[in-house]
Structure 1
Amino acid sequence: MTHDLLGRHRAVLPDWLALYYEEPIEITHGEGRHVWDAEGNRYLDFFGGILTTMTAHALPEVTKAVSEQAGRIIHSSTLYLNRPMVELAERIAQLSGIPDARVFFTTSGTEANDTALLLATTYRRSNTVLAMRNSYHGRSFSSVGITGNRGWSPTSLSPLQTLYVHGGVRTRGPYAALSDGDFIAACVDDLVDLLGHTRPPAALIAEPIQGVGGFTSPPDGLYAAFREVLHERGILWIADEVQTGWGRTGEHFWGWQAHGRHGPPDIVTFAKGIGNGMSIGGVVARSEIMNCLDSNSISTFGGTQITMAAGLANLNYLLEHDLQGNARRVGGLLIERLRAAAAHVPAVREVRGRGLMIGIEITRPGTDEADPATAAAVLEAARAGGLLIGKGGGHNTSSLRVAPPLSLNVAEAEEGAAILEDALRSIP
């Protein structure tokens, strides 16, 4: 049955639409932190549909909200007043920390980042954008054009001039051997030098922790130091919180808060986990930035009543059950457990991360050379053991990505860590 579906998939969908595993699986249903495939196999889910099932599969509070809203009205577009959209926007504006915030809803993180770029370039009257090396910001023409990860950027054509900045990867590159303080200083010096050679950019867009890049991050405070330079020149800071938002990092509700001594970013983008599987993305910005467009616009499917109802129920559940605190506590146990397991595996270069956002970098033993084949083998071995994880990394890295739903409990963390330890030890 699965083989037949795979053949049909290949016959009608693009060749570049990636599938995990040598024998891809069809996930048919889920509950809590577990999912089942079409063959009846049960898996502990440590990837959540790419960090999207943020709280739990089949969370009763969310499914009830979706069902009740579907019985009333599913969609009317932004041309009409929409109570669930207003209510969720009010909550997000307050949580963002941005003064006089305005919120615009989209259907994905890609579209959210696309909108942020439109706002920043219009507000600043510049089509030059600063982005981080090893970054990923989506699949649209503009977001591909600023993505600093060669494996996810299929064209060099772009409506934007993009300049790439050092700092997104702490343990690689020309500054890797420096202390954290010297690393930040060197990256700031590089930024200042870069700005001296170009026309004033519109904005810097940066993921506080790089998602597709393998859950890499700079030392805390880098983006605060960058912001001092940017603010002096009127350049905006866009925080791409598509993967880091809503408490996933444990220590902070937003990833930018690890770099926030000068206040919030000018623009924050979000998506993925807020809908717990429903298609929600969005942009939060100061009112003068959000309102800088001088033509009409709508969002046909952004902010539909059914997705907003899901987002409200999901956000309420997350806050009422302190899932950020759970991510900090259980994530801390999980990362230490994985570091202990990886200490005896020569192919593991680094276990890094924060909260329930953990990366395991795989290299050829004794080198810094990426080993994608071994990373893929570990992915397969984990699946065979009943655990689903992800993978990522830039063109010169290969990493496993661990990002369970934020309601993960200690027993499940221990179970997943044991399976992953066996998978890592299976490396020849």
Structure 2
Amino acid sequence: MTITASPTADLRDRHRAVLPSWLATYYREPIELTHGEGRHVWDAEGNRYLDFFGGILTTMTAHALPEVTKAVAEQAGRILHTSTLYLSTAMVELAERIAALSGIPNAKVFFTTSGTEANDAALLLATTYRRSNQVLALRNSYHGRSFSTVGITGNTAWSPTSLSPLQTLYVQGGVRDSGPYAALSDAEFIAACVEDLEEMLGQAQGTVAALIAEPIQGVGGFTHGPDGLLAAFKTVLDRHGILWISDEVQTGWGRTGDHFWGWQAHDQSGPPDMLTFAKGIANGMSMGGVVARAEVMDCLGANSISTFGGSPITCAAGLANLQYLLAHDLQGNARRTGAVLRSRLEAADLPVVRELRGRGLMLGIELPDAEAATAALEHARELGLLIGKGGRGGNALRIAPPLTLTEAEAREGADLLIEALRRVGA
């Protein structure tokens, strides 16, 4: 297909004049998305795109999903906002569903407005419960843009300050294909990472509060260690009484296909003490949260509320979206259509691709450098496909379509992506 010019220079100039210079946008000529349906979106110029990024994995099921838009409209007609100072049937019902799905025994749920805030709350709980500001995180990690979550982000491209209220100790394990352990077998890799963790704990000054880890690193380029790595870590953590926080902001709700939560690929030692979620749960509405064991969740000794967390309208969206996801087995669909995508990409002759990784509808494609990834992003848009970008050096493509993706759309998107990558390598 042929894509016409992006929206007017006037809007771009107004954006640059009034918004921060560090607020990144995609493409040489940024586009404005005005509406969507299913797995497609349209820009202000009327160009139609197959969406393989879902607003950073946030449009989890589909654009304009009727069940969700109906629930939002009906709730908006009743009341938009109350705050946590008042009881809310929708908030309690959604918390009950999420607690039951979490796998964490005796779980309680606290709702936030974003993944950043969810991780922020998890850090508050962990450091209060353990009476320590020392936190373990994986290298190449990303956990948010607040002051505390930047302090546990191991990807320097997304960490604008070295100042932090936390003392962070970074351990190996987030990246399988590079670094000192890349040549090892999976079992040797896990053993080496556990040894690194033990050594790091030997350098800690007293109590360590928690390890926070993404089962698949999102901004890091969809990298991950072998299955079982975090379970091996948990064995060490349990011995020291250290909490395990699983950052499920991008891996949750069945996106990986094989599991409902990313931590379940590492469940030999049981569930985490806490998990955080956000992005897709409300299919585009601003919602995140923390699930934790009751004794951890209830450890705060001061009053706290949330003005916007768990609002009636976001909980209505979350309930409708979660019900649709479960009723239509979107986890299974992610597994099936993800396999179609992956097999088609693997069969293509693409010398520019260094590595294809990830699982389900969460695939990463590593290219030689950031320039190649940027060019692929541009070529894909020109062909009518929206994708994402990440990686430590900005050299990885992030492929994460809505979970209702059809097999025909998976084949179509794969073919467009293959053509974009061939243009990069030409």
Give the TM-score category using the shorter length.
over 0.9
Matches for 1:316-355 after TM superposition, within 5 Å: 316-341=323-348, 344-355=349-360
Q: Distance between the aligned counterparts of 1:261 and 1:279, measured in 2?
A: 33
User: Contact (CA 8 Å) 1:110, 1:138: kept in 2 or not?
Assistant: yes
**Residue type of the alignment partner of 2:391:** G
**Residue number in structure 2 paired with 1:381:** 379
What secondary structure, in the 3-state scheme, does the structure 1 residue paired with 2:249 have? coil
Q: Distance between the aligned counterparts of 2:395 and 2:172, measured in 1?
A: 19
Match of 2:366 among 345, 361, 368: 361
Shift of the alpha carbon at 1:4?
Answer: 1.1
For each residue in 1:222-272, what CA deviation from the matched residue of structure 2 results, as whole angstroms up to 9, or x when unmatched?
000000000000000000000000000000000000001111100000000
For each residue in 1:160-207, what CA deviation from the matched residue of structure 2 results, as whole angstroms up to 9, or x when unmatched?
000000010000110000000000000001111111111221000000
Match of 1:269 among 273, 276, 295: 276
Matching of residue 44 in structure 1 with residue 29 in structure 2: no
Match of 1:209 among 202, 207, 216: 216
What secondary structure, in the 3-state scheme, does the structure 2 residue paired with 1:18 have? coil
User: Contact (CA 8 Å) 1:2, 1:38: kept in 2 or not?
Assistant: no
**Residue number in structure 2 paired with 1:390:** 388
Match of 1:63 among 39, 61, 69: 69
**Residue type of the alignment partner of 2:387:** I
Q: Distance between the aligned counterparts of 2:132 and 2:351, measured in 1?
A: 47
For each residue in 1:317-372, what CA deviation from the matched residue of structure 2 results, as whole angstroms up to 9, or x when unmatched?
0000000000001111111111222xx22221001110000000001xxxxxxx10
**Residue number in structure 2 paired with 1:366:** none
Match of 1:105 among 111, 127, 138: 111
**Residue type of the alignment partner of 1:16:** W
**Residue number in structure 1 paired with 2:257:** 250
Q: Distance between the aligned counterparts of 2:221 and 2:407, measured in 1?
A: 24
For each residue in 1:386-411, what CA deviation from the matched residue of structure 2 results, as whole angstroms up to 9, or x when unmatched?
0000000014x610000000000000
* TM-score of the pair, normalised by structure 1: 0.97
**Residue type of the alignment partner of 2:405:** L
**Residue number in structure 1 paired with 2:4:** none
**Residue type of the alignment partner of 1:81:** L
User: Contact (CA 8 Å) 1:2, 1:25: kept in 2 or not?
Assistant: no
Matching of residue 421 in structure 1 with residue 418 in structure 2: yes
Q: Distance between the aligned counterparts of 1:74 and 1:17, measured in 2?
A: 29
Q: Distance between the aligned counterparts of 2:414 and 2:266, measured in 1?
A: 30
**Residue number in structure 2 paired with 1:190:** 196
Matches for 1:300-319 after TM superposition, within 5 Å: 300-319=307-326
What secondary structure, in the 3-state scheme, does the structure 2 residue paired with 1:53 have? coil
**Residue type of the alignment partner of 1:170:** R
Structure 1 runs (4+) deviating above 4 angstroms are none
Q: Distance between the aligned counterparts of 1:110 and 1:198, measured in 2?
A: 26
**Residue number in structure 2 paired with 1:4:** 10
**Residue type of the alignment partner of 2:365:** I
Matching of residue 297 in structure 1 with residue 304 in structure 2: yes
Q: Distance between the aligned counterparts of 1:162 and 1:283, measured in 2?
A: 21
Identical residues among aligned pairs (%): 76
What secondary structure, in the 3-state scheme, does the structure 2 residue paired with 1:260 have? helix
Matches for 1:168-187 after TM superposition, within 5 Å: 168-187=174-193
What secondary structure, in the 3-state scheme, does the structure 2 residue paired with 1:196 have? helix
What secondary structure, in the 3-state scheme, does the structure 2 residue paired with 1:115 have? helix
**Residue number in structure 2 paired with 1:14:** 20
Q: Distance between the aligned counterparts of 2:58 and 2:319, measured in 1?
A: 15
Stretches of structure 1 lacking an aligned partner (at least 5 in a row): 364-370
For each residue in 1:285-315, what CA deviation from the matched residue of structure 2 results, as whole angstroms up to 9, or x when unmatched?
0000000000000000000000000000000
Q: How many pairs align?
A: 418
Q: Distance between the aligned counterparts of 1:2 and 1:147, measured in 2?
A: 36
Matching of residue 225 in structure 1 with residue 225 in structure 2: no
Q: Distance between the aligned counterparts of 1:100 and 1:225, measured in 2?
A: 23
Stretches of structure 2 lacking an aligned partner (at least 5 in a row): 1-6
User: Contact (CA 8 Å) 1:335, 1:353: kept in 2 or not?
Assistant: no
